């Protein structure tokens, strides 16, 4: 009787494995995965608007900055803003880590953002520097949806116009 790979008890085990497709579907509240420039810009803008609207709603619900006695900010307002800010900060950290992974950098580089001047330039680098289209050590490139391309492109264009307008204002004020 001749031994084959299917009935050989000493053969190495094998399994039918299904691999993920090249384009990953990014999960929102995770530190894994990759995110391209336009996807990062669109997601950042979307979630900044959402958390900004939630903050405005917190001001409206608590009556703004006046407490019941009129002596200062309402403690309820601080609690509500804290409940809004913590998930917002974590979400933005998740988005930044995916963007850094697209640049083939560890998410620990996000700590550079807390350095005053260097962090500003690093944030611009993370926002604008294109990642690689092929897979890196953090996985395959994430697919960018059409709405993310449009919104991300508009957001980047508005940022460029805003920076140019700020430079123009500073230069014209000095003359």
Q: What are phi and psi of 86, to 5 degrees?
A: -60, -50
Confidence category of residue 132, pLDDT binned at 50, 70, 90: confident
Give yes or no for residue 121 having a pLDDT over 60: yes
Over pLDDT 90: what percentage of the chain? 48
b/e burial code for range 50-67 (CB count within 10 A of at least 16 → b):
ebeebbeebeeebeeeee
Of 112, 87, 86, 84, which is closest to residue 99 (Cα–Cα)? 112
136: β partners: 139
> Global pTM?
0.75
Residues 85, 79: Cα–Cα separation, whole Å? 10
- The answer to which of 16-20, 127-131, 150-154 has the lowest mean pLDDT is 16-20
Residue 134 CB contacts under 8 Å (≥ 6 apart), including other chains: 141
The rounded distance, in Å, linking the Cα atoms of 165 and 159 is 10
| Residues 96-101, mean pLDDT to the nearest whole number | 94
Q: What is the pLDDT of residue 19?
A: 45
Beta bridge partners of 142: 24
Task: Name the pLDDT band for 158 (thresholds 50, 70, 90).
Answer: very high
* pLDDT, averaged across the chain: 84
Note the pLDDT tens digit of each residue in 38-88.
999 999 999 999 999 998 888 887 766 555 556 666 777 788 888 888 999
């Amino acid at each position: 009787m001749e031994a084959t790979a299917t009935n050989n008890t000493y053969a190495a085990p094998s399994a039918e494995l299904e691999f993920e497709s090249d384009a990953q579907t990014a999960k929102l509240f995770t530190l894994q995965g990759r995110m391209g420039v336009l996807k990062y810009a669109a997601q950042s803008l979307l979630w900044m608007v959402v958390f900004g609207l939630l903050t405005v709603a917190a001001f409206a619900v608590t009556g703004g900055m006046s407490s019941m006695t009129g002596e200062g900010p309402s403690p309820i307002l601080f609690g509500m803003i804290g409940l809004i800010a913590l998930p917002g900060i974590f979400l933005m950290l998740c988005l930044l880590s995916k963007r850094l992974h697209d640049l083939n950098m560890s998410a620990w580089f996000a700590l550079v953002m807390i350095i005053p001047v260097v962090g500003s330039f690093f944030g611009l680098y993370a926002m604008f520097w294109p990642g690689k289209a092929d897979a890196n050590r953090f996985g395959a490139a994430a697919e960018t949806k059409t709405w993310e391309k449009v919104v991300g492109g508009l957001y980047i264009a508005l940022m460029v116009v805003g920076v140019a307008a700020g430079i123009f204002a500073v230069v014209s004020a000095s003359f």
